[in-house]
Structure 1
Amino acid sequence: MSTSTSSPIEQHPDIMEMHARSERATTGVVGQAAEALGVLCGVYLAASPWIVGFSDLTALATSNLITGVALALLMGVFGNPYERTHAMSWAAFCIGVWTIVAPWAVTGAVDTTRTITSNVIVGAVACLMALGLALRGVIGIRRL
């Protein structure tokens, strides 16, 4: 019977330093502003069918409600700083892309400009915010 004195991989100095660098990169003012923007995008996306006035398009309204809540929770609640820069930002990017294509994918044809405009703008902002977080995490890790 042998006892191992090695620490688990999570306690490895290189892993600890990588987590610390990532945390420094994502807890700055820009990272926090991007997260706040992501939460606001999610809340707006969830409420947009009633704000913009397309709640009668039930499938699209449901899609926006679900993806909006998911985006707000993703950006505001889940994850620690290391995951936030990687998996969470790419998931937020996918939600943004879905938001852009949802008016056509869910309803087939949308006849209101305000519906398309709302979804395209909030989807593009979500995509840019997610890319900014992902790139900031990568650049911050390399630079620090």
Structure 2
Amino acid sequence: MSYQRNSSEMGTHPELVEMRERLERTASSGPAIAVEGLILLAGVYAAISPWVVHFAGQANITVNNLIVGITVGLIGLGLALAPERMLRVAWVIAPLGIWLLIAPWVVTMTHSARAGIIWNNVWLGAVTAVLGLAAVGLTVGVNRRARARR
């Protein structure tokens, strides 16, 4: 009983309410919506890229891109649907982008990756990492502005 009372008091704490409102404002801004959409598109493209660039015959890199693409796409979808909850997870996108960038050399160790695979993953990884940093930057920028106002 006492746990529920403390839990409800925490949910109405002024600083927590203010933080939620700040995150909602950030998530509904034009740049945030653009970044969320681009992250979702990058994830979808990463997932389908083995078939677009015609390297689906190489199982390791195909499975890698499919899993990373689905992960990035789901995070992007989460950012679009529930940004106040997902902004804390946005930092995961940048390391996934870096992984996409280096994956052709790490995953295809038994045989060398074709130029198409390398170019696809390098560009896709770089774009995904930059989008991840942009998503994190939106959150950090809002937190800094809020601290400056206090």
Q: TM-score when scaled to structure 2?
A: 0.85
Match of 2:72 in 1: 71
In structure 2, what is the Cα distance between the partners aligned to 1:110 and 1:44?
23
Give the distance between the partners of 2:128 and 2:14, measured in 1 at CA.
35
Shift of 1:141: 2.5
Q: 2:116 aligns with which of 111, 114, 117?
A: 114
User: Residues 75-103 of structure 1: CA distance to partner in whole angstroms, max 9, x if unpaired?
Assistant: 1036732333222x111112111111111
Contact 2:104 2:113 in 1 (8 A): no
Structure 1: 5+ residue stretches without partners: none
Distance (Å, rounded) in 1 between the aligned partners of 2:102 and 2:77:
24
Shift of 1:10: 2.2
Q: Following the alignment from structure 1 to structure 2, what is the Cα–Cα distance between the partners of residues 5 and 119? A: 51
Match of 1:10 in 2: 11
Identity %: 33
CA–CA distance in structure 1, aligned partners of residues 18 and 113 of structure 2: 53
* Structure 1 position 5, deviation (Å): 7.0
When the two structures are superposed, what TM-score results if normalisation uses the length of structure 1? 0.88
> Number of paired residues?
142
Which residue of the partner structure matches residue 84 of structure 2? 82
1:114, CA displacement in angstroms? 1.2
Are residues 1:28 and 2:29 paired?
A: yes
Rounded to whole Å, the distance in 1 between the matches of 2:130 and 2:77 is: 17
* In 2: Cα distance, 1:30 partner to 1:118 partner: 26
CA shift digits 1:88-126 (9 cap, x unpaired) = x11111211111111111111533111111001111111
Residue 88 of structure 2 aligns to a residue in which SS? helix
Q: Which has the higher contact order (CA 8 A, sep 6+)?
A: 1
Q: Which amino acid aligns with 1:104?
A: W
Cα distance change of structure 1 residues 48 and 5 upon mapping to structure 2, 3 Å threshold: closer
